[in-house]
Structure 1
Amino acid sequence: MASPDQKSPNVLLQTLCCRILGKGEADVAQQFQYAVRVIGSNFAPTVERDEFLVAEKIKKELVRQGREESAALFSELYRKLYSQGILKNRWSILYLLLSLSEDPRKPSGKVSNFATLFAQALPRDAHSTPYYYARPQTLPLNYQDRNVQPGQSSGSMGSSGISSIGMYAPNGPTPTPQSLLPGQTYQRGVGDCLRQQLGARLAWTLTAGQPTLQNASSKGASAAASRNVPRTRREGDLSGSVEITEAFLVRDILYVFQGIDGKVIKMVNSENCYKVDAKVSLSKSLRDTTSRLAELGWLHNKIRKYTDQRSMDRAFGLVGQSFCAALNQELKEYYRLLSVLHSQLQVEDDQGVNLGSESSLTLRRLLVWTYDPKIRLKTLAALVDHCQGRKGGELASAVHAYSKTGDPYMRSLVQHILGLVSHPVLNFLYRWIYDGELEDTYHEFFVASDPTVKTDRLWHDKYSLRKSMIPSFITMDHSRKVLLIGKSINFLHQVCHDQTPSSKTIAVAKSAESPKDAAEMFTDLENAFQGKIDAAYFETSKYLLDVLNKKYNLLEHMQAMRRYLLLGQGDFIRHLMDLLKPELARPATTLYQHNLTGILETAVRATNAQFDNPEILKRLDVRLLEVSPGDTGWDVFSLDYHVDGPIATVFTRECMSHYLRVFNFLWRAKRMEYILTDIWKGHMCNAKLLKNMPELSGVLHQCHVLASEMVHFIHQMQYYITFEVLECSWDELWNKVQQAQDLDHIIAAHEVFLDTIISRCLLDTDSRMLLNQLRAVFDQILEFQNAQDTLYRSALEELQLRLQFEERKKERELEGEWGVTASEEEEENKRIKEFQDSIPKMCSQLRLLTHFYQGIVQQFLVLLTTSSDESLQFLSFRLDFNEHYKAREPRLRMSLGTRGRRTSHI
């Protein structure tokens, strides 16, 4: 909206008329009408259009009159006007000013008749070119809902208009109007004057480059109205006895077409329609025809009201403004038709066609000429209703929905509007996919940005899809690709610090201004437009993955996670356990991280891990978990892997916490295997030593049986975890990573991998009971280790004492003495008796341990059989391969089908 100090051209012209004549606005209405007519005419003098020459003549004339300061001021003003480029036809204005100054008939004082001067300067053969300009503030419209903004202009004229002059002109080109005679006056009231001034407000011109609403009527229409109305009835007399002619209705209808109340056709606000005054005597056919024609005025008002309200609304956005410009462009073509009709009516009045004579403008002819414009206006009005409250991509979707029609005429219109509405969307889209720039001030684009997100979360949180703004002619798959393209460009620039221009990787033109691109949005969506998005997507994503793999070793880091945090590097893990065993057996509070880090480095140098990339090895570190009372080093020790930079986008904090949980579980399971291996070594080494103590055979056999059960259990669990969980999941991950087309695919595959191993390693919330049972089994293994260590320690100590007694006995016999005294023999027998008496206690402890262990395993097997995971059900079969537990537990005797049905009920 123009500011108060920036007046529209018509207001300035009216002010000029008032100053020249020295009268008020109401008194110079006639002269103002004609001044507008002259300025808007296509009058072309027989001189060359040389703007510089005219300007020089004006300066010379001012110098000749001795007004050098005025000449300098004119030169400066002309220079500013030329540099700003506001006016398109500066030559015409300069020529008018020069003609006024050179007119020999102009008196030396104030010009007394400005209209006379214009009439003398205008040739008789000049053809009238209508001029559309803003309504003056002093000439309000009758229709209260109209809100025409002063100085408002439409966009440039398009090829798809409501009508064309050649198509709708009733009698061909507009003939030359009669000049306004110097002494001619008007015998009518002020109300008629204002009404007739509004009559030609819809005439247009192309010479000024911008359409402007004309509020003053032409001379012919004014004269006809003033001539014809009094002949029919007195002013303001609407008695039903008065017969209204069809020609009079035609004039009223032409006003209604513009949204202006006529004499007898007015807007009825209660019914929201134009109706003929009930007091007027009119035949039913004419009344019905008039009502049908008046619908164009109602449609015009509906569309115009929407554009007036929205054009000045900045929050409506660029897409909304484009929509308003498209509507104004269609209204502009509609106004062209009305201008032709007004001109035809004016010609008939100028040629003396009376109301009673045969006229070329009849209501039925108007029905024919306005048939196509009415269809277009109905379509535009429906669009206006459907687009209420929408903006941005949502508005484009609403327009696109109306293009799905079998009527080629309507489809062409909507597609033309959609082409204009889609231009801002195309600009947003092309800048985003080619440069990664997002300047969406009014939140119209379907890609949203959160400026508060830091760089380390750029990929995950900064950019997102605004689904409500996704145009319906862009699929969700292509919307996701558009999001990934710009996100990849920004990720390369801000996180990877790679400034390679995207134009080098995408051989596609960036321009979004060509009409071909706009047409592709809805006519060639399956080929050219989608091809551009796909090409940009594949090239950008491929370049990003190459940077991550070659410069930042993404795949090597992923393999390092598998080898170290998931215990895939077997020789390294085994040697590390051997080195850490003395340290981790101590209380957790006595551990020092630097000591453990030194042991870690020793394990790396002593195994095949030493051949890994130094970039990976320097990220490997030791981490101590939070210490709880009674914890040993085994409970708090963990390996850690430091990630930063671009790879932290894949290995996020959440992912690293999952790796930590899985490592702790695998480390504990590996420790159980390590303990059982030591137990087996103890059995093998001590079996021969203790064969001379037959009283231990029963308890040792019991230890062997329980250890075998535990070894079988741990081996099956290790097989399940290592091969069925880790290796299978890793193989799926690696295949997906190799086939990934963008970074999102890698992140998604990695998250699925972690979720799978978390779930199948019993670390999720659904497997909490299974995990508790498994930890109880691990605890029983630790208890068994302690019990067996106590047994072997007591047995070996007793064996050592017996061997020492026999050794002393042999030494004394060799010296010729008694081998043993009675007291010594009695003491020896007493000690042996005490040891033998302790054996039943050891057996009872082992039986109790065995009972607890088997009970926990049975409960674990029951939970496995009722699990919904088939792999866990098959694990229960392997753990109880000889049906040892099945014979003891009735719940394990159900068939697999019965278990499945029971699981479904659970």
Structure 2
Amino acid sequence: VGGAAREEWEFKIRGEISDTSMRYIVERMLPLCSFYYNIHLFVTLHSRYEFGLVNHALSACIREMLTNYLTLITQLEYQTQNGQLTLQRLWYAIQPSLHALKHIYNAVKKVYGCTGGAVLSGLYDGVTREGDAMTKKIYIHLLERASVPYLRMLELWIYEGIIQDPHDEFQIQSNDDLTTENLNKDFNDTYWEMRYTIRPDKIPSFLAEKGLSDKILVCGKYLNIIRECGHPADNAHRTPLRYFQDIEEYRVAVKRAYAYASRSVLHLLLKKQKLVERLRSIKRYFLLDQGDFFVHFMDIAKGELGKSVPKIVKRKLESLLELAVRTSGANNDPYKDDLSCFLQKYTLMQKLDAIHSTSEVSDQSRSPLSQQPSARAPPPSPMLRGLDAFTLIYRVKWPMSLIISMKSLTKYQLIFRHLFYCKHVEAELCKAWLHQQLFKELNVAGTFKGAYLLRQRMLHFLQNLVYYMMVEVLEPNWHTMVSRLREAKSVDDVLRVHNSFLDTCLTQCLLNSQHLFKTLTKLMTTCLDFTEHVKRGADCVRANMEVDVKKKYQFNRVQKVQRETKRAEETAERERFGEKVGMYNKRFDSTVGEFIEILRRKSNSQCDHHLANLSTRLDYNGFYTRAFPEVLDDNYAAIPVRVDSGI
């Protein structure tokens, strides 16, 4: 099949015929024998099981057409027995059969060894190329009969989403190894793309119009979504298909079936399965839309998340997460039971490094995101803290897993971990403010002023960064996605809109730029080191104050403040507090200057107004431009934005 050795027989005169005219007539008759015998061989071979239903139908049609030829042979034999047949009469009688068998023979030569749609393409080629009316009529008759089983398969596919193709003849093939369960497990699962695919060599020429084959494929895929959910997928307004010489008939039938399938599956996803409500539930947790839930969870899980990952009791962490959900506004979420937590083996930086490494070594056809870190990623650290490893997971079932697949959830997790860590750093800076309140009654402004200012600049940076991501990136893109989902005409539109939302958020939240994110991580590490330094300094001063309390000296308020001020200054000098604050100040300012410089360069090269907005927000008063004139010059014209928070 597909490469069957073709046997072609030809009849010739054995010996010599002295009569030239007789020899001439016999030589012109012999091709009829060759045509018949070769056609008979084709029918015998292609009637076998492995050649498929289309060849079976074609062979049956040819067999019926040969019946007329065999009837003629019987009549001629009767005339021969009665002595009524001459060579000239024979030549005259076989003219119609010679013409018909010649074109049948040419047709079977075109489709010899082919199966399915390739057979119909060969016959259709004969219809379009032949100009003789009788020849075209023969090809059309063969095509009408041979296309019956194929068009029956097409009907089942576009009206019911069923493939009934025991001989692999149809233009759509099914990969039964791919199941819907893989969507929740395998990041690179290709269920939607590879569960049903097109066989280009099995598409009949009259269905090969651009876009028509894709619609046929998608039509059945949509109906399969409905069928796998246990709902009936039978199109009540089906049009029986037969061979039409006018291609427009197929276009109209497929268009109607496609419209019904798209309408049905969109109603299933948006109305019955409530896709938008599901996505809103995910936004509540992964994009930190539910503020009271997040704050409450951070408060009650602080101790557990501060431990190293091996020491964390996952069941306890899940209980704390559930407690935070049920004691906050998220308790009204009907899908809250699908939320759970997970501890990753890698930090977000390591994960993104693995993603970019995979992107560099993989070919363009594959997604750069990979569930498993590449070989270039460092091994998991046993000292990884819960704060660096914590993420959320969300359980979804079919058909929601088609839209909210493992790949989509991984993108949500990347954004969540980024926001979660930024909020953690912001919370630590706020705690540093609490530690600094220990000195508010003391006259230590000269000693600790640098720490106050640096802490405020760090807090300004983090708050504006979080504001940018939450208000200027996530929220507008979310509303754009929801409006486009409601306007979607097909499942592919829904997938495209949702994936576009996630990719845009990843890019604008700086997760797709390795250089930007590494600089930002360096900044947040500096902030955490500084808060730890402030805490240690406050603890040392507090310890000295407690010594005075234990001595039970009786001082009036002025004396007490003077004595504690002196001890605080001595402690700060002994611990080199101011010197270290200066070091952190220099490191922070230089890194922020580098960060803003990268933002400006990328916003200019990529014409990205979001990066320009963030740059303007962080350097709203030109402080860093004046501090680093060699890098941040005045030639850069930033897009002005309204700043709601500042120093």
> Which residue is equivalent to 1:693?
444
The offset of 1:574, in angstroms, is 2.8
Q: Residues of 2 paired with 1:618 and 1:731: CA distance?
A: 25
The offset of 1:619, in angstroms, is 1.8
> Which residue is equivalent to 1:834?
570
Select which of 456, 470, 482 maps to 2:181.
456
> Which residue is equivalent to 1:300?
36
SS in 1 for 2:127: coil
The offset of 1:334, in angstroms, is 4.2
> Which residue is equivalent to 1:401?
125
Matched to 2:106, the amino acid is A
The offset of 1:316, in angstroms, is 0.3
The offset of 1:422, in angstroms, is 0.8
Contact 1:456 1:649 in 2 (8 A): no
Which residues in structure 2 correspond to 1:349-368 (within 5 Å)? Answer: 349-350=83-84, 361=89, 365=92
Contact 1:447 1:464 in 2 (8 A): yes
Show CA shifts across 1:435-462 (max 9, x none).
4443322111222233444453596454
Q: Residues of 1 paired with 2:104 and 2:635: CA distance?
A: 71
SS in 2 for 1:808: coil
Select which of 548, 573, 581 maps to 2:294.
573
Does 2:191 correspond to 1:467?
no
Contact 2:541 2:568 in 1 (8 A): no
Matched to 1:739, the amino acid is E
CA RMSD of aligned residues (A): 4.1
Q: Residues of 2 paired with 1:889 and 1:413: CA distance?
A: 84
Select which of 772, 783, 787 maps to 2:529.
783
Change (3 A) 1:863 1:362: same
> Which residue is equivalent to 1:162?
none
> Which residue is equivalent to 2:103?
379
Matched to 1:785, the amino acid is T
Select which of 564, 587, 591 maps to 2:285.
564
Select which of 45, 49, 52 maps to 1:317.
52
SS in 1 for 2:43: helix
Select which of 129, 146, 155 maps to 1:421.
146
Q: Residues of 2 paired with 1:434 and 1:837: CA distance?
A: 83
Change (3 A) 1:565 1:797: same
Q: Residues of 1 paired with 2:566 and 2:159: CA distance?
A: 95
Change (3 A) 1:388 1:753: farther
Matched to 1:761, the amino acid is C
The offset of 1:490, in angstroms, is 4.5
Select which of 458, 465, 481 maps to 1:733.
481
Select which of 390, 400, 403 maps to 1:650.
403
Show CA shifts across 1:593-649 (max 9, x none).
444344334433443222222xx1222233334484334332233333222343333
Contact 2:180 2:398 in 1 (8 A): no
> Which residue is equivalent to 1:194?
none
**Equivalenced residues, count:** 583
> Which residue is equivalent to 1:155?
none
Show CA shifts across 1:695-742 (max 9, x none).
42xx41x23443344234323432442244423442343234323344
Name which of structure 1's ranges 549-558 and 560-569 shifts more when overlaid on structure 2.
549-558
Does 2:333 correspond to 1:612?
yes
The offset of 1:866, in angstroms, is 5.0
> Which residue is equivalent to 1:638?
391
Q: Residues of 2 paired with 1:618 and 1:832: CA distance?
A: 51
Contact 1:620 1:639 in 2 (8 A): yes
Q: Residues of 1 paired with 2:252 and 2:445: CA distance?
A: 86
Contact 2:293 2:325 in 1 (8 A): yes
Select which of 242, 247, 254 maps to 1:518.
242
The offset of 1:482, in angstroms, is 3.8
Contact 1:506 1:536 in 2 (8 A): no
Q: Residues of 2 paired with 1:556 and 1:468: CA distance?
A: 43
Q: Residues of 2 paired with 1:379 and 1:777: CA distance?
A: 80
Contact 1:740 1:746 in 2 (8 A): yes
Contact 1:393 1:469 in 2 (8 A): yes
SS in 1 for 2:64: helix
TM-score, normalised with respect to structure 1 = 0.56
Select which of 495, 502, 507 maps to 1:754.
502
Q: Residues of 2 paired with 1:611 and 1:530: CA distance?
A: 48
Contact 1:506 1:535 in 2 (8 A): no
> Which residue is equivalent to 1:131?
none
Identity of aligned residues (%): 26
> Which residue is equivalent to 1:624?
343
Q: Residues of 2 paired with 1:478 and 1:324: CA distance?
A: 29
Change (3 A) 1:567 1:290: same
Contact 2:104 2:138 in 1 (8 A): no
Change (3 A) 1:717 1:331: farther
Matched to 1:431, the amino acid is L
> Which residue is equivalent to 2:373?
none
Contact 1:623 1:638 in 2 (8 A): yes
Q: Residues of 2 paired with 1:536 and 1:719: CA distance?
A: 47
Identify unmatched segments of 5+ residues in structure 2. 184-190, 346-379, 638-647
Show CA shifts across 1:79-103 (max 9, x none).
xxxxxxxxxxxxxxxxxxxxxxxxx
Matched to 1:305, the amino acid is L
SS in 1 for 2:54: helix
> Which residue is equivalent to 1:280?
17
The offset of 1:578, in angstroms, is 3.2
Show CA shifts across 1:258-284 (max 9, x none).
xxxxxxxxxxx9xx755556743455x
Q: Residues of 2 paired with 1:412 and 1:450: CA distance?
A: 39
Contact 2:17 2:23 in 1 (8 A): no
> Which residue is equivalent to 1:661?
414
Q: Residues of 2 paired with 1:830 and 1:439: CA distance?
A: 90
Does 2:167 correspond to 1:442?
yes
Matched to 1:379, the amino acid is H
Change (3 A) 1:288 1:665: farther
Change (3 A) 1:788 1:442: same
Does 2:269 correspond to 1:543?
no
SS in 1 for 2:128: coil
The offset of 1:666, in angstroms, is 1.7
Contact 1:457 1:649 in 2 (8 A): no
Matched to 2:238, the amino acid is V
Contact 1:146 1:301 in 2 (8 A): no
The higher relative CO (CA closer than 8 Å, separation ≥ 6) is in 2
Contact 2:308 2:382 in 1 (8 A): no
> Which residue is equivalent to 2:641?
none
> Which residue is equivalent to 1:850?
585
Contact 2:276 2:482 in 1 (8 A): no
SS in 1 for 2:205: coil
SS in 1 for 2:301: helix
Contact 1:446 1:465 in 2 (8 A): yes
Bigger radius of gyration among the two: 1
The offset of 1:287, in angstroms, is 5.8
Q: Residues of 2 paired with 1:425 and 1:708: CA distance?
A: 73
Identify unmatched segments of 5+ residues in structure 1. 1-144, 148-268, 814-818, 898-906
Matched to 2:573, the amino acid is D
Matched to 1:689, the amino acid is E
Which residues in structure 2 correspond to 1:492-511 (within 5 Å)? Answer: 492-494=226-228, 496-498=229-231, 500=232, 502-503=233-234, 506-508=236-238
SS in 2 for 1:639: strand
Q: Residues of 2 paired with 1:393 and 1:731: CA distance?
A: 46
Q: Residues of 1 paired with 2:252 and 2:271: CA distance?
A: 28
Contact 1:695 1:836 in 2 (8 A): no
Q: Residues of 2 paired with 1:714 and 1:562: CA distance?
A: 21
Which residues in structure 2 correspond to 1:822-901 (within 5 Å)? Answer: 831=567, 834-835=570-571, 837-838=573-574, 841-867=576-602, 869-871=606-608, 873-874=611-612, 875-876=614-615, 878-882=617-621, 884-886=623-625, 888=628, 890=630, 892-893=632-633
SS in 2 for 1:464: strand
Does 2:137 correspond to 1:412?
yes
Q: Residues of 2 paired with 1:894 and 1:829: CA distance?
A: 44
